[in-house]
């Protein structure tokens, strides 16, 4: 049994829970962080000295933190040899490079520069020019995915993989928030494919109203 600490409105928690949902792993999740609190306790500090979510514990093993590391752990333990995490070193590196690219360029390029400024900042304090510049910079990265998705149905190839988990969970909010978006037809078609997946709808397409300023 997996135990997860982290609120369902956390983007990083959503990526983790989507993957757990795809793998069909039994789990229990505790709402921690933001309005739920809990990260400032001694008990949580013992789980993660950074006091951030998500944290995962698999049975009686030591707790794990950092989303990318947790995802790779689950892939190695429960999905090795599948389309999510191939055994072949080169095929696995292909998945991993797109996963790393997504974490560094997509998640970090969207969450604070765009989502925080649009959703988690009071209207009177928002900077439209800063938001516009952040969207332009972010969409330069999305153009890389747009080209890639013109050649393959999914980010690392023809099958859903860990790369899509790291990349795709950002797209729900990207398409849902009120910003001016570029026309990226391959990306939109890819997103439309993701939303047909029940695990994506359950764990990623989650209301973020509680996060609004």
Q: What CATH number is attached to the domain comprising 105?
A: 1.20.1050.10
Give the helix/strand (H/E) hosting 94: helix 89-101
For residue 192, is the peptide bond before it cis, meaning its omega torsion is within 30 degrees of 0?
A: no
8 Å CB contact between 41 and 90? no
Distance, in Å, from the CA atom of 12 to the CA atom of 131, rounded to the nearest integer, reads: 22
**b/e burial code for range 128-141 (CB count within 10 A of at least 16 → b):** eeebeebbeebbeb
Number of domains in the chain: 2
Same domain, 101 and 140: yes
Residue-number span of the structural domain to which 146 is assigned: 89-197
Q: Does 188 share its domain with 144?
A: yes
In a domain, residue 207? The reply is: no
Q: What is the pLDDT of residue 157?
A: 96
pLDDT in tens for each of the 213 residues of the chain? 999 999 999 999 999 999 999 999 999 999 999 999 999 999 999 999 999 999 999 999 999 999 999 999 999 999 999 999 999 999 999 999 999 999 999 999 999 999 999 999 999 999 999 999 999 999 999 999 999 999 999 999 999 999 999 999 999 999 999 999 999 999 999 999 999 999 999 999 999 999 999
What's the start-to-end Cα distance of the chain, in Å? Answer: 36
Q: Same domain for 127 and 100?
A: yes
Number of C-alpha atoms within 13 angstroms, CB side, residue 9? 14
58 and 139 share a domain?
no
């Amino acid at each position: 049994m997996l135990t997860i600490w982290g609120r369902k409105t956390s983007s990083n928690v959503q990526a983790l829970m989507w993957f757990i949902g795809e793998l069909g792993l039994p789990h229990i999740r505790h709402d921690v962080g933001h309005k739920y609190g809990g990260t400032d306790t001694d008990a949580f500090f013992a789980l993660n000295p950074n006091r951030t979510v998500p944290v995962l514990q698999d049975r009686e093993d030591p707790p794990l933190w950092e989303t990318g590391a947790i995802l790779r752990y689950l892939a190695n333990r429960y999905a090795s040899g599948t389309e999510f995490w191939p055994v072949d070193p080169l095929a696995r590196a292909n998945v991993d490079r797109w996963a790393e690219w997504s974490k560094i360029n997509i998640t970090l390029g969207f969450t604070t520069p765009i989502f925080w400024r649009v959703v988690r900042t009071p209207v009177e304090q928002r900077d439209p020019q800063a938001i516009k510049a952040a969207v332009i910079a972010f969409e330069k990265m999305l153009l890389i995915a747009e080209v890639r998705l013109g050649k393959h149905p999914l980010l690392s190839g023809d099958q859903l993989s860990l790369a899509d988990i790291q990349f795709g969970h950002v797209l729900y909010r990207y398409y849902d928030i009120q910003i001016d978006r570029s026309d990226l037809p391959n990306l939109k078609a890819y997103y439309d494919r993701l939303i047909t997946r029940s695990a994506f709808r359950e764990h990623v397409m989650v209301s973020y109203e509680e996060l609004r300023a």
